[in-house]
Amino acid sequence: MKVVIFGDVHGLVGRYDIPAVELVVDIVDRTDADLFLQVGDMGGCKPMPKPLHWIFGNNDSLSLMRAFSNGDAPVENIIHIPTGRTIDFHLGGETLTIAGLNGAYDPLYYDFHREDLDDYGYFTREEAESCLKLKGVDIFLAHGCPAGMGFGREPDYGNPAIRRIVDSVKPRYMFCGHGHFYREAVQDDCRVYSLDEVRRSYYVLDTLSGVLTSIRSDPSRLPRELGLGNR
């Protein structure tokens, strides 16, 4: 399959003063792909021309995260991946199993029970551990990176809970946000990628060859009337 993966989206695009989510809308609209994924921190959701599956980051709308967590779908073609569950995608003779851990790590919230924590932008110990039982995962999404693999600034960017998922679940690929940089590491047979922000790049994975291609984003394609500060 051809899978497009987006890193963090929140914020504006450089001198254009255009919300970066408009870049995602444009890329999804014009890209012929089988699956679109996003690793959290969409910021503001907009209806997409094709389905895009995502997890929560720590810079997403609280009201939207609550709505998605309650099983609602308030934004067209934005599909939430619940923590600790898998979603299968079939194309021809190929099946991809996708899973994710919603939210970033914060030591202030980590030992809360979810019913006592209404901010879905941060994961709890129970939620992280619920992922450890998963089997046969091809692509795992996390808003944060595994510890001990060179991603830096531990335990924020490089987190022990996410490392345990790598070691226990052993997905073929893990795609991570939160760090705002591109970096790659390998643990056993799992390839872990920290993705740069979408205002700079997005990524295309060919699941048959295993090749991940970085594509430079082009905000000049967007209509100038979208710019908030353009003259």
- The domain that holds 126 is classified in CATH as 3.60.21.10
Give the integer Cα–Cα distance in Å for 101 and 129. Answer: 10
Whether the Cβ atoms of residue 159 and residue 128 lie closer than 8 Å to each other: no
**Model pLDDT, residue 129:** 97
**Model pLDDT, residue 30:** 95
The amino acid present at 121, given as its one-letter code, is G
Is residue 196 assigned to a domain? yes
Is residue 169 assigned to a domain? yes
Q: pTM for the full model?
A: 0.94
**Total domain count, the chain:** 1
Whether the Cβ atoms of residue 57 and residue 39 lie closer than 8 Å to each other: yes
Give the integer Cα–Cα distance in Å for 18 and 22. Answer: 7
68-72, Cβ contacts within 8 angstroms, sequence gap of 24 or more: 69/120
**Model pLDDT, residue 54:** 97
CA 117 to chain centre: 21
Give the integer Cα–Cα distance in Å for 154 and 71. Answer: 33
**Model pLDDT, residue 231:** 38
Is residue 231 assigned to a domain? no
**Model pLDDT, residue 229:** 46
Using the structure block, give the residue that is written with the tokens 């490392």.
163
Query: Domain containing 200: what range?
Result: 2-226
Copy the structure tokens of residue 146.
């595994």
Give the integer Cα–Cα distance in Å for 72 and 222. Answer: 30
**Model pLDDT, residue 67:** 93
**Model pLDDT, residue 227:** 58
Is residue 180 assigned to a domain? yes
Is residue 15 assigned to a domain? yes
Per-residue pLDDT of the chain (231 residues; tens, 9 = 90+): 999 999 999 988 877 788 999 999 999 999 999 999 999 999 888 999 999 999 999 999 999 999 999 989 899 999 999 999 999 999 989 999 999 999 999 999 999 999 999 999 999 999 999 999 999 999 999 999 999 999 988 998 899 999 999 999 999 999 999 999 999 999 999 999 999 999 999 999 999 999 999 999 988 888 765 654 443
Phi-psi region of 43 (alpha: psi -120 to 50; beta: other; left: phi over 0): left
